[in-house]
Structure 1
Amino acid sequence: MARKGLLAGAKYNNILAHVTRFVLREEPSAGHSGVFSMKRRYLIITVVIAAIAAAVFFRQTYRQGPAQAEGPHGRVRVPVAVEVAPVARQAINEIGIYTGTLLPESQFTVAPKVAGRLEKILVDIGDEVRRGELIALLDDDEFVQQVDQARAELDVALANIEESSSELGLRRREFERAKTLREKKIISESELDAAEAQYTAALAKQKVAQAQAVQKEAVLKAAQVRLDYTRIRASWEDSSRSRVVGERYVDEGAMLAANDSIVSVVGIDTLKAVIHVIERDYPRIRAGQEAIITTDAHPGQTFSGTIARVAPVLKEAARQARVEITVDNPGKALTPGMFVRVQIRFDRRENARVVPVKALVRNNGTRSVFLADMEHSRARLVPVEIGIIEEDMAEVVSPEIAGFVVTVGHHLLEDGSQIILPEAMPQRKTGDDPEGRAPEDESSRP
């Protein structure tokens, strides 16, 4: 390519010489007008100046060719303007990032235990309810009637007990008299047997009356319980005093069957973040680990959580395990159903050697970086082993590199390429590392 440039330059020099001689030659005749001659000279001078400029540019371009390094296949490698960043020493964390959903720690639906018409709902969505608070009322006319009927039947049973008790007393006395008379041989044995049979029948009748009274009492209690079921309350077993109505399913006047949902009640003082971890991360998850939760609803704000439960099995279809994280929600800023991002720290390295992630390049399937040779303005390709990656920084496990790495422009570089460093970069001083490595901070030394 340099030889072609020299030949082309010589050709341009010959052309330039011919044009110059043509301009400076003597006019052959005086018949031409002076005006025409002057115009012709001005035109030719303009052409000559343009030719000279082109020749100078052409020669300068090809003159620089031999001084530049040639890449593969004879291509000229021009210097590449790059940006660099120092190889730093700092702490770096290995963090697993997952997405999930917030669920209430506890949730249940309030439903009637008996069928009936919904007469009144006393709460609505968002209302706070306390344990045992009245939620809704059913029409209780039929149940009140059943209670009255059961009470009347119990009264009849109690009256039967009194009657049977009176008769039993009479039959007992007659039996005792018959035994006395039999001892005196006044009555026959058959008459004594008859008196005894009447006494036994009276005793059995009293027992039947008592059993009927117990039965009627149970019927009354059942009717009273069903009547109380028309007053629907929110009840739960844990120690939380209050919860919130999450959803309302029916309106007043609706006919409800037993167990038809009226409202849902949720506890949101503590929430549960549910995530699913892949098989690779599963062995590193354990109960008690701390987690950081963020959500788009509160940008820039973080919430703390603790892993409460880890599923003992992975779902076969997805090869993922369910993990539940307890999240405190004292200010009720979080709401069930929110999409959340969860960060769990697996490892931490103090005083790690790190470079920006954007400095990493792929070279034949191997991760590498371009180290900037500050003295010779060249880039040196160095394969590296990467450890922890946190956000925009990556740990370099090996080799022990130092100095500056190329962060912008490395896609145009090859090993040994010339680079143009930013003007703001400090000049190399006497005693600096010959590879352009930055001196290590005293605080970063072990």
Structure 2
Amino acid sequence: MENSDLSKLRIEADKRGSASGSRPKKRRLWLLVAVVLGVVAFVYLARMGFLIPAAEVQTVKVALIYPSRALTILNASGYVVAQRKAAVSSKATGRLEKLNVEEGKQVREGDILAVLENQDLKATLEEAQAAQKVAQAALRNAEAELTDATLNYQRNTALRQSGAVSVQAFDAAEARYKKAVASERSARFGVDRAEASLKVAEVNLEYSYIRAPFPGVILTKNADVGEVVAPFGASSLAKAAVVTMADMDSLMVEVDVAESSLEKVKVGGAAEIRLDAYPHDRFPGTVHMIVPTADRSKATVMTKVKFDKLDPKVLPEMSAKVAFLSRPLKEDEHTPFLGVPAAAIKAREKTKVVFRVASDRMQSIPVKTGRTWNDVVEILDGLSEGDLVILSSDKPLQDGRRIRVKE
């Protein structure tokens, strides 16, 4: 019983031999697979450039560039300022009865902006007009009396020479004539006085009308109907200026230029103005004035730049930046172009290429170039706005080479 059970557990000799012989074959097979995979991995890594050290590069973004950027010799910032601006107030004290304008309204020189209560002044003017009429009537009466007295005096003078009139009658005619002359002269003075009084009344009434001193636009409204206005704010409860206004044709940009850079700025020199409110617009300008005094606290000199052509959307007190140019822009240099630094363009077999960043690799792109401004070249074809191109590299430029962007 025991022998038969042990015989079942015995391994036959031929089976042991076949198992031991299959192990070396499996080892060789796995070794071959490992070698093949290693070769494939090596080839792949070599082809992908992982076995070559990455190049450290400096990049620049392809962007729309204005020609003025390449011609800029100095930049400065400041504000749009109206050179003719007024806080319009009244010369008389009174309560504001009418306000005919609001912010943003355009007015002409002499337009009535506001009216003070003036019923008393109108009454005074009517009284002066009546007094003038009385004086004129008195003058006409005196002139008539003078005419009659003159004729009577002349007749008596002729009769006196012939002895036909008494001395007493002649003396009376002469006295009447002289009195008529004095009365006529007094009447004329009365007319002059009445006209002067009328002029005073007209001036006082005119003071109740607040008029625009020049053509412009209303900027702010400082008083409302019913409030008391006074010249120069004589009362703490009275308003001084009714409105503030500016001549929009006198707008200029005032910027502070550092003393060390002042030699780069010349009166009459070309400039380009950019407003923060309209970042995509460019306004050509000209240096109008270099104010002949310096700010010792900031070591700057104020420079005024005028707009070559004013745009209605330009408003006072807007923040602005001014680029002073080396020369005026030509007609075809006011629109932006796609550009890159000249150092990014390489010559390859009679063609121009740039190396673009594609993920973490170099990629050569043929490009078609146009005009050149200083060190900026116009790209007509091959690149798009926002592309990153390689400006410099510490290793030779090569398609597919791994890169590391320099911080």
TM more than 0.5:
yes
C-alpha separation in 1, matches of 2:248 and 2:140: 58
**Which amino acid in 2 is paired with 1:199?**
Y
Q: Which residue of 2 aligns with 1:255?
A: 228
Q: Does 1:176 align with 2:149?
A: no
Q: Which residue of 1 aligns with 2:305?
A: 325
| Cα 1:162–1:251 shift into 2, 3 Å | same
State the SS of the aligned residue for 1:302.
strand
C-alpha separation in 1, matches of 2:310 and 2:260: 34
Cα displacement (A) at 1:310: 2.2
Q: Does 1:160 align with 2:138?
A: yes
Q: Which residue of 1 aligns with 2:253?
A: 273
Q: Which residue of 1 aligns with 2:179?
A: 201
Structure 1, residues 39-78: CA drift from partner, whole Å, max 9, x if none?
xxxxxxxxxxxxxxxxxxxxxxxxxxxxxxxxxxxxxxxx
The answer to whether the 8 A contact 1:111-1:261 is kept is yes
What are the equivalent positions in structure 2 for 1:211-290 lying under 5 Å apart? 211-236=189-214, 243-258=216-231, 260-268=240-248, 271-290=251-270
| Cα 1:308–1:159 shift into 2, 3 Å | same
CA RMSD of aligned residues (A): 3.8
Q: Which residue of 1 aligns with 2:118?
A: 140
State the SS of the aligned residue for 2:143.
helix
The answer to whether the 8 A contact 2:255-2:303 is kept is yes
Q: Does 1:108 align with 2:82?
A: no
| Cα 1:305–1:103 shift into 2, 3 Å | same
**Which amino acid in 2 is paired with 1:176?**
Q
What are the equivalent positions in structure 2 for 1:29-108 lying under 5 Å apart? 82-83=56-57, 93-108=71-86
State the SS of the aligned residue for 1:232.
strand
Farther off after superposition, 256-265 or 133-142: 256-265
**Which amino acid in 2 is paired with 1:135?**
L
Q: Which residue of 1 aligns with 2:379?
A: none
The answer to whether the 8 A contact 1:118-1:256 is kept is yes
Structure 1, residues 267-302: CA drift from partner, whole Å, max 9, x if none?
335621001223333233223222122233223332
Gaps of 5+ in 2: 1-52, 61-68, 233-239, 329-340, 345-373, 377-389, 402-407
The answer to whether the 8 A contact 2:270-2:326 is kept is no
Structure 1, residues 324-361: CA drift from partner, whole Å, max 9, x if none?
1112675533321122111112379xxxx9769xxxxx
C-alpha separation in 1, matches of 2:375 and 2:224: 53
Gaps of 5+ in 1: 1-78, 237-241, 357-388, 392-403, 408-418, 427-446
What are the equivalent positions in structure 2 for 1:337-376 lying under 5 Å apart? 337-346=317-326
TM-score after normalising by structure 2: 0.59
Cα displacement (A) at 1:132: 3.7
**Which amino acid in 1 is paired with 2:57?**
E
What are the equivalent positions in structure 2 for 1:373-388 lying under 5 Å apart? none
Given candidates 268, 272, 276, the residue that maps to 1:296 is 276
State the SS of the aligned residue for 1:342.
strand
| Cα 1:317–1:200 shift into 2, 3 Å | farther
Farther off after superposition, 281-290 or 98-107: 281-290
TM-score after normalising by structure 1: 0.54
The answer to whether the 8 A contact 2:104-2:217 is kept is yes
How many residues align? The count is 283
C-alpha separation in 2, matches of 1:107 and 1:406: 53
C-alpha separation in 1, matches of 2:318 and 2:108: 25
